[in-house]
């Protein structure tokens, strides 16, 4: 991807590398990755002007524009130090992409510690996360489920139980049962 020229203090060139199991990491134009993939986001910055202590970062948004995750060199306690006019730096962020299936975008920024923007690329890269497991939400927590039978319980609820009553639609001609569908115990 060619850098976008701006009239600010720096120019960003973003890059994403995905490590596929059993293969070498490489520079690819990422459009799709599996949840949990090892990802390296590289931000290359060319400084037009000297910067005292620049901060580089990235932000992941979902297809609705909601911020899912973001970090930067300041939050990661990675001090870039002062830069000179014409200097180029590269910052890498590595993570496992435990996002839920969906469409996402990456935004990149470089700014001063005071928050004065040198360059900002909103929606610089777009990608889809896929998974063989169905889930809800924005994150893959790798949850597991288990179930065990606890035997038969008496029908009379104690003081520590809550009855969940069966609700019958008014349109239904079926009579409502007085027996609860489930009893939740504390």
pLDDT tens-digit map of 157-168: 555 555 555 454
pTM over 0.75: no
pLDDT at residue number 154: 73
Q: Looking at domain 10-130, does it have CATH number 3.40.30.10?
A: no
Residue 170: the pLDDT is 47
Weakest mean pLDDT among 86-90, 96-100, 162-166? 162-166
The string of DSSP letters for the chain reads: -PPPP-SSSEEEEEEEEEE-TTS--EE---SEEETTEEEEEEEEEEESS-BSS-EEEEEEEETT--EEEEEETTTTT-----B-TT-EEEEEEEEEE-BPSEEEEEEEEEE-TT--EEEEEEEEEEEEEE-SS---SSB---------------SS--TTEEEE-----TT--SPPPSS-SEEEE-
């Amino acid at each position: 991807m060619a850098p976008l020229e701006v009239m600010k203090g720096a120019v960003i060139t973003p890059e994403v590398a995905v490590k596929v199991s059993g293969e070498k990491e490489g520079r690819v134009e990422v459009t799709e990755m599996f949840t949990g993939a090892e990802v390296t986001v590289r931000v290359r910055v060319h400084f037009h002007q000297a910067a005292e202590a620049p901060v580089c970062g990235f932000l992941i948004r979902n297809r609705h524009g909601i911020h899912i995750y973001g970090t930067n060199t300041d939050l990661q306690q990675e001090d870039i130090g002062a830069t000179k006019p014409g200097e180029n730096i590269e910052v890498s962020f590595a993570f496992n992409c435990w996002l839920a299936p969906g469409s996402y975008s990456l935004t990149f920024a470089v700014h001063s510690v005071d928050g004065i923007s040198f360059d900002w690329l909103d929606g610089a890269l777009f990608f889809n996360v896929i998974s063989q497991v169905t889930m809800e939400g924005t994150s893959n927590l790798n949850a597991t489920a288990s179930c065990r039978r606890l035997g038969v319980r008496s029908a009379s609820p104690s003081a520590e139980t809550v009855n969940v009553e069966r609700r019958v639609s008014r349109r239904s001609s079926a009579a409502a049962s007085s027996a609860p569908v489930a009893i939740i115990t504390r």
